[in-house]
Amino acid sequence: MSYTILHNPNCSTSRKGLDLLKDAGIEPDVRKYMNATERLSVEELKDIAKKMGGVSPRVFMRAKDAPAAGIDANSSDEAIFEAMAENPKLIQRPIGIKGKKAVLGRPPEDLLKLA
C-alpha cells in the first residue's frame, strides 16, 4: 500500500517529515499541494478529514492564516473546506495518507504512525 505525503518544500516541518519517512525506508508519493496543478479539491479534503477519524477541517487548518481567508470561529466546516481548496496555505503540513488512514505530521514523527 502506497504512502502519500502532502508536502510543502518551503516548510521546514514538512521537509523534516519527508526526511523522517525516507530515513525509515519509506519512499512516499509526494504531492506538492501548493502547486496549482496539485491542489486539493473540496472532496479530497473531506476524504482526508474522514481518514483522520471524521475530524473537523479545523484540526488541520493553519489557524494563524484563517482570518485573512475570512474564516472565524463561526465558519462552518463546509466553508473551511472551500477556503482550503481555494487557498492551500490554510492547510497544515505535512499530512501523511496511507490506505484508509491519514495523520497530521505535527510533530513530524507522527507521520511514522502510518508506516
Residues with active-site annotation: 11
Distance separating the N- and C-terminal Cα atoms of the chain: 10
**CA dist 51 → 7, 35, 65, 71 (Å):** 17, 23, 24, 23
Radius of gyration of the chain (CA): 13
